[in-house]
């Protein structure tokens, strides 16, 4: 897998200036409890990065005061796109959040009941907040989402693209069998284990 030599040389490496800051204790607790945490960081925290803390959800997922704007395309987006590159707004999320709570979901499941892995973050020009990029962690699931969060940790906008080709990873699934088990297990489990999901019509 090396068509060209590329620049496999100077990768400055992601140094992490902020090591073990921000344990958000209560913050997390609130989120798990209500799915609507009260964000009350001291002002200092604005300078601090959440960093990789294996929490139930990152601040970026928090359903706080959502200013969620529909993706600009929504207006013009018609059925032609709905089929595949669908863009949902945060409204769906808020609802999903409640659903997730009912199911008692946590771990890394997000508000929508799916699990996401962050693969990038960027400061985009049009937005004044940094945008984070997430992928659905399911092996063959093409779904991605972009989340813009304010310095306060509030969600400014979430844009989903694509559709999940699997069901939500609910509890009935034996969570992890590291590398030894075939990923098929997980997939099969997902596709059979839950009836909580409404058919995509």
- Give the footprint of DNA on this chain (CB under 7 A): 4, 6-8, 10-20, 49-54, 58, 108, 115-122, 124-126, 131-133, 137, 144, 146, 176, 178-179
Minimum distance of DNA from residue 201's CB (angstroms): 26
Cβ-based nearer residue to DNA, 102 or 176: 176
* Contact present, 124 and 146 (Cβ < 8 Å): no
Cβ-based nearer residue to DNA, 35 or 110: 110
Cβ-based nearer residue to DNA, 53 or 195: 53
Q: Where are the alpha helices (DSSP H) in 35-158?
A: 79-82, 90-103
DSSP label of 199: P
Minimum distance of DNA from residue 62's CB (angstroms): 13
Cβ-based nearer residue to DNA, 54 or 102: 54
Cβ-based nearer residue to DNA, 41 or 133: 133
Which 3-state string (H, E, C) describes 2-41?
A: CCCCCCCCCCCCCCCCCCCCCCCHHHHHHHHHHCCCCCCC
* Contact present, 134 and 69 (Cβ < 8 Å): no
Question: Order of strands, edge to edge, in the sheet holding 144-149?
Answer: 116-123, 130-136, 144-149, 155-161
Residue 123 phi, psi dihedral angles, 5° rounding: -95, 110
Minimum distance of DNA from residue 103's CB (angstroms): 18
């Amino acid at each position: 897998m090396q068509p060209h030599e590329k620049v496999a040389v100077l990768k400055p490496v992601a140094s992490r200036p902020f090591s073990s800051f921000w344990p958000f204790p209560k913050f997390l607790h609130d989120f798990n409890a209500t799915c609507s945490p009260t964000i009350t960081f001291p002002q200092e925290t604005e300078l601090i990065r959440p960093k990789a803390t294996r929490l139930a959800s990152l601040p970026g997922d928090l359903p706080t005061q959502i200013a969620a704007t529909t993706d600009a395309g929504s207006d013009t987006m018609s059925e032609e796109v709905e089929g595949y590159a669908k863009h949902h707004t945060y409204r769906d999320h808020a609802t999903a959040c409640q659903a997730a709570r009912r199911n008692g979901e946590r771990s890394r499941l997000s508000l929508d009941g799916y699990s996401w892995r962050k693969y990038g973050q960027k400061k985009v020009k049009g937005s004044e907040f940094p945008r984070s990029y997430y992928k659905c962690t399911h092996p063959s699931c093409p779904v991605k989402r972009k989340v813009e969060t304010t310095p306060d940790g509030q969600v400014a906008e979430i844009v989903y693209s694509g559709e999940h080709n699997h069901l939500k990873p609910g509890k009935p699934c034996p969570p992890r069998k590291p590398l030894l088990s075939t990923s098929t297990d997980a997939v099969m489990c997902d596709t059979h284990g839950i009836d909580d999901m409404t058919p995509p019509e």
